[in-house]
Amino acid sequence: MHSSSILVIYTGGTLGMQEGPRGLVPGHDIESRLRTALEALPPARQASLPAFEVVQYAAPIDSSAATPADWQRLAQDIAGAYSATDAGSPRYSGFVVLHGTDTLAWTASSLAYQLQGIDRAVVVTGAQRPLEAEDSDAPGNIEAALRFAACRNLQEVAVCFAGKLLRGAHTRKWHTHAFDGFASPNYPLLGELVDNQPVLYPSRGLDAQQRGLPRFELADYSSFEESPVVRIALWPGLSARLLKSWLLDDHVRGALLEVWGSGNIPADPALTGLLAQASGAGKLIAAISQCPHGPVSMNTYAAGQGLIDAGVLPADAMTPEAAITKLVHLLAQPLNDAERRQRFLTSLIGER
């Protein structure tokens, strides 16, 4: 029954970790460990799991070590499996990615840009405790992720954690160790487990025009020797001299500024002049708020007008993860400056 099979990809993370001499390290043989853990579920819950196959990366990682090259590889693997067929029908009806929690939100955001228009579910999950730990959250998270991945109406990249389903590009790691460890501060939940049944909330999935036909953009992130984008959170006393060393670095092609409140920076002509210089030189600079909730609106205060004049792009209520992965994604593609700016301001996968 391949046509209803879910492909599970284990990339690393605490979920599959085992004790090593210096602490937890990614473990092996995930498939049998995972099936053993799921066999401990009550029979009715086991019976509602979809059929699945498991692939484990040869060198699973702690997700704190993930880079854009890892995002690219995963998207390519999912795209490859997406087109696999068995007797003319798609071999996989959905995908579950098992990932470390530390940078899970970054990977989920990046996958959403690379797998635009996907008409099947890609559900990313992980755990705060390893599979075999007492009271681990891993079996429950995998169970929920598999069940959401089998929902035909879920057609986007989502994160499933602690019984909640969140849009991938709106997800943030919200707690260092609590089981309910992820939040979507600026977009409602896509779904939830209710009485142990996966429920998708109506009209929260991607609009038809953002879904449409699959139009994957598998850009080459490996062309960047190091990150082409820097992340700069303002702090009181930040000077143009300090900002300059990052912003005008020759390798830096984009920046995310995390500014004050509804979109302000200090009214310092040296700062705004520097931003104008960098954006005039073709660097893609965007701004979000340091407040976790709410969008930037840079024309509310005179102190924010300087950002607009300097060519800084408002990133609305995007998460830092979604904004930076989008900058990386746009910079990796053969677009001109105007096209990149226009695409940044357009919601591609419900990220803004």
Footprint on this chain of ligand ASN (rule: CB under 6 A): 12-14, 62-64, 100-102, 126, 128
How many whole angstroms separate alpha carbon 242 and alpha carbon 266? Answer: 14
SS3 160: strand
How many whole angstroms separate alpha carbon 157 and alpha carbon 160? Answer: 10
As measured in angstroms, the least distance from the Cβ of 55 to ligand ASN is 18
Cβ(75)–Cβ(111) under 8 Å? Answer: yes
Rg (CA), the chain: 21
If one counts every other C-beta atom within 10 angstroms of the C-beta of residue 44, the result is: 8
Cβ(158)–Cβ(192) under 8 Å? Answer: no
CB closer to ligand ASN out of 90 and 163 = 163
CB closer to ligand ASN out of 180 and 207 = 180
As measured in angstroms, the least distance from the Cβ of 101 to ligand ASN is 4
As measured in angstroms, the least distance from the Cβ of 16 to ligand ASN is 9
Residue number, nearest CB to ligand ASN: 100
CB closer to ligand ASN out of 102 and 217 = 102
As measured in angstroms, the least distance from the Cβ of 158 to ligand ASN is 18
Residues 6+ apart with CB under 8 A from 245: none
CA 232 to chain centre: 19
Burial class from Cβ neighbours inside 10 Å (0-12, 13-18, 19+) for residue 9 reads buried
CB closer to ligand ASN out of 100 and 163 = 100
Annotated active-site positions, please?
A: 101
- CA trace torsion 96, 99, 101, 104 (10° rounding): -70
| Helical (H) or strand (E) element with 319 | none
How many whole angstroms separate alpha carbon 125 and alpha carbon 15? Answer: 9
As measured in angstroms, the least distance from the Cβ of 126 to ligand ASN is 5
How many whole angstroms separate alpha carbon 64 and alpha carbon 212? Answer: 34
CB closer to ligand ASN out of 62 and 77 = 62
CB closer to ligand ASN out of 62 and 268 = 62
Taken as a whole, the chain contains a residue count of: 352
